[in-house]
Structure 1
Amino acid sequence: MLYRKRAWDIMRSEFPMVNEDASIGDVVKAIESNSSIYPDNDCALVSDKDGKLMGAVSMWNIVKAMGPELLKSSSRSKGEESFEKAFQLACQLGAQAGIRKIIQKDVPRIRPNDTLARIMEVFLDYRQGRAVVEEGGKVMGVVMLSDVYREIVSNI
């Protein structure tokens, strides 16, 4: 199993993609629109103006970027109703921010014919829950940790 299954067997060929000029709100919309196909997807890939992969922006990157401002706004508000308004305003303002500073550029890359064993090595080495499947500089798909987990569970 570890050497028979390949990246192309388990990769997701449909994935959210945004360009480098996108806002945090654009990334959120891209992830959410993909959630009907893959509810466990937690990131969007980012391409440059030429369509070349730059990296990814994950839910974690978004929360980390917006968190300080959201916490600051919540500490300033008095009362539940004003907290809700302050939180909503902070979310709306934060969603307008660009993503250039939060792009995760060290996204692991694998080839379509890489084995499940190789994919697991990459996940463990990078300590990340996703890898981009590339061939000839073209993004073919994404393998998520949940895809690998499903393969393991199906053999227990």
Structure 2
Amino acid sequence: MLFRKRAWDLMREEYAWVDESASLAEAVRALRQSQKASPEDNVVLVLGRSPGGETRRLKGAVSVWKVLEAVDECVLRDPELKVACETDFDKTFARACAVCIHTSLARYMEADVPVLKPGDPLPVVLELFLRKRRGWAVVEENGRVLGVVLVADVYRELSADMVGAFQPGAGA
């Protein structure tokens, strides 16, 4: 069963995405909206118009880790937070968040996106996750994004086969 599964079988056709001109705030909003339906979603694709404008091309991605990196750089390291009085802290924190969230998306976008072909078998998907040290990959064909595969999807398939192999009478 394991070798029969392909990226196409694992991918999610519904995924969070924003235009390349979006701010970090728009990416965070898109990800939060996506997580309402699927809490394990952890990446927003950044798409741009192709030269003809008929399709959207993958430009990069912003993962939850990149959002946390932005919060660390822009908010948690804000020197004003270190000296803010308890009464000023909430206001200072809100200001730092507002500045952070409206920064350019390009600063936190990952351009080196792990890409799979629809027909790639599950072992290739797993190997890509491990080699790239990412919990997600984009499924693309002819420059067109078809979907996203998350590590949770791969785990679900692997664990189902593993549990099935240990059922009484399996493989006998």
After TM superposition, is the score higher than 0.5? yes
What is the identity, as a one-letter code, of the residue corresponding to 1:44?
V
RMSD between aligned residues: 1.3
2:92 alignment partner in structure 1: 86
Gap regions ≥5 residues in structure 2: 51-55, 164-172
- How far residue 2 of structure 1 moved from its aligned partner, in angstroms, is 2.4
In 2, distance between residues paired with 1:3 and 1:36?
Answer: 32
1:27 partnered with 2:27 = yes
Match of 1:64 in 2: 69
SS at 1:104's partner residue?
A: coil
Equivalence for 1:46:
46
Does the 8 A contact of 2:5 with 2:121 survive in 1? yes
1:108 aligned onto 2:100: no
**Superposed displacement of residue 48, structure 1:** 2.1
Using the size of structure 2 for normalisation, the TM-score is: 0.85
Q: How many residues align?
A: 155
| C-alpha separation in 2, matches of 1:152 and 1:16 | 25
Residues 71-98 of structure 1 show CA distances to partners (whole Å, capped at 9, x for unaligned) of 224213121x422221122112211111
C-alpha deviation, 1:148, in angstroms: 0.7
Q: Extract structure 1 runs of 4+ deviating beyond 6 A.
A: none
> In 1, Cα distance between the equivalents of 2:49 and 2:10?
29
Q: Is the 8 A contact 2:2 2:158 kept in 1?
A: no
Gaps of 5+ in 1: none
